[in-house]
């Protein structure tokens, strides 16, 4: 089989990957910097290619609840938005998590708070990894750093979403969403024709019990049980789904931790540091929830300090600090509000905050 390469924007890669991943439906609402997802899908006529449904909703409130509906029928459903729209998703995501429905949600993050800017940011880390909406829940969060991963994480996202019956978020940003890179496209995966009759609401047939998809348990003891079920899922994710990439970590004396765009930048900083004789390494978490805490806990025995490099005012740093539990100093560096740090700026901060003290 000849490999298929295309030059694509990150957003286009998500859209093409959604069709190829055998998605049944996409519901979304335009917002910069991710509108190319919906635009690409509309142009591609996926209903002719695979039978996939694409609908422009009247709002993000409607879009996420369309996702809820189609996911309740056991379908592979995907949506995308950017920060302000993702805020509107939150009620729906909480319902989806509680009702234990699978879906993939892409957040092409822009600077905030409020209407903010349309430039890239990582300021939605807390919202993505800590729950976001009301109640005790998490999404499984994947953080692509390349356009290639924008494509590959779509089928991976569906796989994990159905394995755990949970919403999966692909947390990216305007930089990766807009950037063009060479992508190797995977082959078309057929859309599913059979659905897990244990839970889908597709119509009660005589051969099975009826299925009710709800997030409501008026009896508190029942609701506690549901919460225990969710927590057991999250524990299993922590045991089985942690993904990360180590860059020059083996002999590192000082570490940077960065994901997505920021990790791409820090990769260069590692080179700069090594050129200056500093034994620097980079940990790139690929899953932000579950977070590679065990790795960092172990690493705290050998490295002298960690710089958490994020395009925000310091959010992931809390997870890094929790992991190392006070053993070594952990500092934050990052530009934010839509500004992107340069490798040199990171280098300066790295020397000042981590290497020199």
Q: Which residues bind other proteins (CB under 8 A)?
A: 24-25, 27, 53, 55, 57-59, 61-63, 65-73, 75, 77, 91-92, 95, 99, 200-206, 210-216, 218
| DSSP secondary structure, 78-117, as one string | EEEE-HHHHHHHHHHHHHHHHHT--EEEEEEEBS-STT--
Cβ-in-10-Å burial (0-12, 13-18, 19+) of 323 comes to buried
CB of 78 to other proteins, least distance (A): 12
Task: For residue 228, give every residue at least 6 positions away whose Cβ sits within 8 Å of its Cβ, in sequence order, or none.
Answer: none
Cα-based distances in Å from 240 to 4, 134, 289 = 31, 26, 12
Q: Output 142 or 154, the one with its CB closest to other proteins.
A: 154
Q: CA–CA separation, 51 vs 107, rounded Å? A: 25
CB of 216 to other proteins, least distance (A): 6
Q: CA–CA separation, 247 vs 245, rounded Å? A: 7
Q: Output 92 or 120, the one with its CB closest to other proteins.
A: 92
Q: Output 139 or 147, the one with its CB closest to other proteins.
A: 139
Q: CA–CA separation, 160 vs 155, rounded Å? A: 9
Cβ–Cβ < 8 Å for 305, 330? yes
CB of 105 to other proteins, least distance (A): 14
Q: Output 93 or 252, the one with its CB closest to other proteins.
A: 93
CB of 210 to other proteins, least distance (A): 5
CB of 126 to other proteins, least distance (A): 23
| DSSP secondary structure, 191-204, as one string | PP----TTT--S--
Q: Output 207 or 251, the one with its CB closest to other proteins.
A: 207
Q: Output 65 or 262, the one with its CB closest to other proteins.
A: 65
The alpha carbon dihedral of 76, 127, 225, 62 has a sign of negative
Q: Output 99 or 255, the one with its CB closest to other proteins.
A: 99
């Amino acid at each position: 089989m000849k490999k298929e390469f295309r030059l694509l924007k990150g957003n286009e890669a998500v859209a093409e990957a959604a069709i190829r991943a055998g998605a049944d439906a996409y519901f979304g609402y335009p917002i910069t910097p991710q509108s190319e997802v919906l635009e690409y899908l509309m142009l591609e006529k996926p209903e002719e290619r695979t039978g996939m449904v694409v609908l422009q909703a009247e709002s993000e409130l409607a879009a996420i609840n369309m996702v809820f509906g189609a996911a309740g029928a056991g379908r592979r459903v995907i949506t995308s938005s950017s920060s302000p729209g993702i805020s509107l998703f939150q009620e729906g995501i909480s319902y989806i998590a509680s009702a234990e429905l699978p879906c993939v949600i892409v957040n092409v993050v822009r600077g905030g708070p409020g209407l903010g800017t349309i430039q890239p940011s990582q300021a939605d880390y807390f919202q993505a990894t800590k729950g976001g909406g009301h109640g005790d829940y998490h999404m499984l969060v994947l953080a692509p750093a390349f356009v290639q991963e924008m494509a590959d994480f779509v089928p991976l996202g569906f796989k994990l979403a159905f394995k755990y019956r949970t919403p999966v978020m692909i947390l990216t940003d305007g930089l990766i969403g807009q950037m063009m890179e060479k992508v190797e496209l995977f082959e078309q995966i057929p859309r599913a024709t059979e659905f897990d009759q244990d839970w889908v609401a597709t119509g009660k047939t005589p051969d099975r019990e009826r299925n009710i998809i709800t997030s409501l348990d008026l009896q508190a003891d029942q609701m506690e049980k549901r919460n225990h079920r969710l927590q057991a899922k999250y524990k299993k994710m922590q045991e089985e789904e942690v993904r990360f990439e180590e860059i020059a970590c083996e002999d590192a004396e000082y570490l940077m931790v960065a994901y997505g765009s920021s990790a791409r930048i820090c990769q260069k900083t590692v080179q700069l540091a090594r050129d200056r004789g500093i034994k620097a390494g980079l940990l790139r978490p690929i899953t932000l929830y579950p977070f590679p805490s065990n790795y960092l806990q172990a690493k705290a025995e050998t490295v002298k300090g960690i710089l958490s490099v994020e395009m925000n005012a310091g959010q992931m740093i809390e997870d890094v600090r929790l992991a190392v539990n006070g053993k070594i100093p952990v500092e934050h560096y990052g530009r934010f509000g839509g500004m992107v740090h340069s490798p040199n700026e990171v280098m300066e901060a790295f020397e000042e905050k981590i290497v020199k003290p």
